[in-house]
Structure 1
């Protein structure tokens, strides 16, 4: 099978769970933003930002290490799995116990002294997810994308169902009769915290469904392998931590950097976070691509045409991302109804965040050079440069321009990282990327987006009609330029 088509099919299956799952989660956005005030919704964004940082630390970069050492074949796959799994079980157990003991001081430090229960719930969610990531990595390595997607969808469906049950059904029952059985399940003191409680239940069910993936025949903890895993994987922690800094630091820091009072800062955080949800369609595609691409890149590395294939992958990846950019921005008048009216002033950041995530996806493709050449420390240096750019720009722009400055910080950061990674890749692992296409398609997408604004405002054309026209022009251009490559039976270099 054409390797490009195989990667596309795997990405499509992973994408079903990611995109369909997030679309289900999108149903929560109008529910939460129509029920809770922006300052309350800001709590969700803030805590999930903290969890993003901790999720990287608690996985220790061992997911990528698992792929690398499984592909090398120096140890049996079962031994690699058990070495990773047993260490993560111990490390996450220590983490959960520590957080449970220190939950009150942590809540005080985060300026949420009445939310100690959230601290404990978040710690448990993080531990369940870190351990489950090992089982998901095994499914990806074995190309069992259907089972991967099925478990992901079950987890998301449970999360969605429990959240709706608590914040809609139980809350309404409480308002009608606090003494009823359903009403007794709603505690106003928890409020938005039911989002985390639902997540905890879904994560626990997911871990139970993944139990068969933890079993192996003859696998054991291998100290020599563990030492090599740590040397390879710890730089990935730096990379991952830097990546989360670039992606989530704004939501963790906005309440401290915005120049307003505490309540207004939390409200602005809630508005920005709700708008960020609309930009996450791009993130969903990138996530689905990463699930399929990482094992594919490692598994295909020894093939003679590997580098040419990697170049084609980036080309089609960019085309897909530009399509997502146009789909969201051209029909923003429709997407805006996914968030409450009080949140819609933040829609101005959506095009900026979509372009930023497109550049992030390009960086992910380009960064294959340090993973395949075992130069993970150099990859960490690139990620740290990106983090430094993020921190500096947030400190500089957010006090002046509010959350709009945070969105522009994303764009500058990911653009800089993509450029640095491309230049380093040319030296250490040259890939014949077609820069005319990689840069041309995003430029064409931006031109179509700007043209849609002109047509809709100056000529008073209906926005939906303008969106359909511009999207059709993009697809026509792709068909004319790339059609013969996609349908060919052989990959042409």
Structure 2
């Protein structure tokens, strides 16, 4: 239980940077959807989907590889593992940016940015920096320096948000009232390019802040170690590419599967904006992931049944909390929807589908421990490739007929299949006594409460939200009582008298 408490604590700290940080970024969605058309926002969604895939390729599974070999019995010196990883990613990130600049024009044409190639090189430089800094951030997690990790992430996000507000709101206003203050650098025609420029400046600032972690280590390069790390991490690279494609390929394919180009980008903008509402589930999974990987590798070094029970408990508590997040978002959707402009409300129907899909992905990530701990990462590759095939087939079959809803249903089919197959294989190769019966009961209760909450429609929004809040609290209390977690506001041993 001590391990679970430590995992919960680290998840909470990492959540400060991941959940709170992404929430702040999420708050930019109203700005984007009110300032830019759905077609322009569709371009932003499209390019960030490409960037997410490029980031996976440029890190090539080295984060997980670093954790594995830094905890490996054969490599006692974690500093050597760290410096070898750092040098490797530094070389590949620099090479990536140099090659892209060499072929900037053809790449820009391929990404439908021929008229704005600066969008491409700005984001390429930002993603190269982010790939390189992934290892210093992993090192902070390895050293259990969660507070510095959270602080740096929050500064990055705060700077990004501040620059977005500066470029998109303040500069246009200054251009009207005091043009001489900004007309020497600000161009209204650059439009959505300022979103990308803000990202680049924030990434560069983060690199500067990480200099103590980068320069404070004695650089050693172990080529034999690197080959072992790449051999271990390569299947994770394929897994990561397939995994990120499962998350982003719908946004890349949609413009190809809708005949009208303008309508395609408009649909993509609406889908991308509503996807941001469901991102709350992604925030939680990301925070959990930051704490979970160091947790499972450190637990694996211990002996006995406690570590196996810790893995099972981690899955159960993850599932409970994810259901709470799902119910909360769906119950308060009448308020949360105003984070996007009313012109985008037609896409709200994707939110429950995407949230359930992301919950299934979180379950799959929990299940991934068996092939990571047994060094059978190739299984993760097969699962992700299988999921990618389902995603591609689902999008190709559904999007031409039902538009962006086809993207959502394809994602749900993909993640559910991956989770089920991973569980079936893992049960034979690395059996863990997951409490499936109890988790199934929680899911059934959440489903009943969700249906009841959706049926609650009163003329008064406040009354509707109050009834739904009661249903949400009811689920939380059931979970706390079932798991015998004491409520903090209840004194079990009240003093009688004075």
Query: Same fold by TM-score, threshold 0.5 exceeded?
Result: yes
Q: Following TM superposition, by how much is the alpha carbon of 1:461 offset from its aligned partner in structure 2, in angstroms?
A: 8.8
- The answer on whether the counterparts of 1:67 and 1:298 sit within 8 Å (CA) in structure 2 is yes
1:127-166 matches, cutoff 5 A: 127-166=128-167
Alignment partners' CA distance in 1, 2:446 and 2:284? 17
Partner of 1:247: 247
Between 1:21-30 and 1:55-64, the stretch displaced more is 21-30
**Map of 2:45 onto structure 1:** 45
Q: Which residue of 2 aligns with 1:287?
A: 286
**Cα RMSD over matched residues?**
1.7
Tell me if structure 1 keeps the 8 A contact 2:113–2:119.
Answer: no
Q: Secondary structure at the match of 1:462?
A: helix
Seen in structure 2, the aligned counterparts of structure 1 residues 110 and 302 have a Cα distance that, compared at 3 Å, is: same
For the residues of structure 2 that align with 1:313 and 1:485, how far apart are their CA atoms?
18
CA contact (8 A) 1:83 1:220 kept: yes
Tell me which residue corresponds to 1:354: 355
CA distance in 1, matches of 2:29, 2:255: 21
**Residue deviations 1:404-441 (CA, integer Å, cap 9, x gap):** 11111111110000001101111111100000123332
Contact 2:235/2:377, CA 8 A, preserved across alignment: yes
Unaligned 5+ segments in structure 2 are: 489-498
Counterpart mapping for 1:226-237 below 5 A: 226-237=226-237
Q: Is 1:205 aligned with 2:200?
A: no
Q: Would the aligned equivalents of 1:333 and 1:463 in 2 still touch at CA under 8 Å? A: no
**Equivalent residues of 2:480, 2:487 under 8 A apart:** no
Kindly provide the CA deviation profile for residues 233-267 of structure 1, in whole angstroms up to 9, marking residues without a partner as x. 010000100110111111122111124x1111111
TM-superposed CA distance for 1:459, in Å, is 11
Q: Which residue of 1 aligns with 2:395?
A: 394
TM superposition shift of 1:271: 0.5
Q: Any conservation in 2 of the 1:254–1:403 contact (CA below 8 Å)? A: yes
Q: How far apart are the structure 1 equivalents of 2:253 and 2:458? A: 36
Alpha carbons 2:86, 2:135 under 8 Å: kept = yes
Question: 1:19 Cα shift?
Answer: 1.3
Task: Measure, in 2, the Cα distance between the counterparts of 1:171 and 1:211.
Answer: 35
Contact preservation (8 Å) 1:65, 1:232: yes
Cα distance in structure 2, aligned partners of 1:152 and 1:218: 25
Structure 1 residue 10 and structure 2 residue 10: aligned?
A: yes
Q: In 2, Cα distance between the equivalents of 1:301 and 1:352?
A: 35
CA offsets 1:263-309 (integer angstroms, 9 cap, x no match): 11111100000000000000000000000000110010132211111
Aligned twin of 1:308: 309
Structure 2 matches for 1:341-380, cutoff 5 A?
341-380=342-381
Cα offset, 1:183, TM superposition: 4.2
**Mapping 1:60-459, distance limit 5 Å:** 60-75=60-75, 76-176=77-177, 179-259=179-259, 261-303=260-302, 304=304, 305-456=306-457
Contact 2:387 2:417 (C-alpha < 8 Å) held by counterparts: yes
SS at match of 1:449: helix
Are the aligned partners of 1:314 and 1:438 in contact in 2 as well (CA < 8 Å)? no
SS of equivalent to 2:483 = helix
SS of the aligned residue for 1:221 comes to coil
Shift of 1:180: 2.2
**Deviation string, structure 1 residues 369-398 (Cα, Å, up to 9, x no partner):** 000000011111111101111011010111
Residues 1:440 and 1:185: Cα distance change in structure 2 (over 3 Å): farther
Shift of 1:224: 0.9
CA contact (8 A) 1:172 1:183 kept: no
Q: 1:486 to 1:136 in 2, by over 3 A?
A: farther
Q: Which residue of structure 2 lines up, in the alignment, with residue 491 of structure 1?
A: none
- Alignment partners' CA distance in 2, 1:390 and 1:301: 33
Aligned residues: 485
Which residue is 1:470 aligned to? Answer: 471
Tell me if structure 2 keeps the 8 A contact 1:64–1:233: yes
Does 168-177 or 192-201 show the bigger shift? 168-177
Summarize the Cα distance change of 1:374–1:122 in structure 2 as closer, same or farther, 3 Å threshold. Answer: same
Displacement after TM superposition at 1:156 (Å): 0.2
Whether the 8 Å contact between 1:174 and 1:184 is mirrored in structure 2 is: no
Tell me if the contact between 1:331 and 1:463 (Cα under 8 Å) persists in the aligned partners.
no
The Cα of 1:189 is off from its aligned counterpart by: 2.4
Distance 2:62 2:12 in 1: 25
How far did 1:485 drift? Answer: 8.5
CA deviations on 1:422-481 (whole Å, 9 max, x unpaired) are 011111111000001233323322221111111226999932123212201211211221
Could you say if the C-alpha distance between residues 334 and 461 of structure 1 is closer, same or farther in structure 2, counting changes exceeding 3 Å? closer
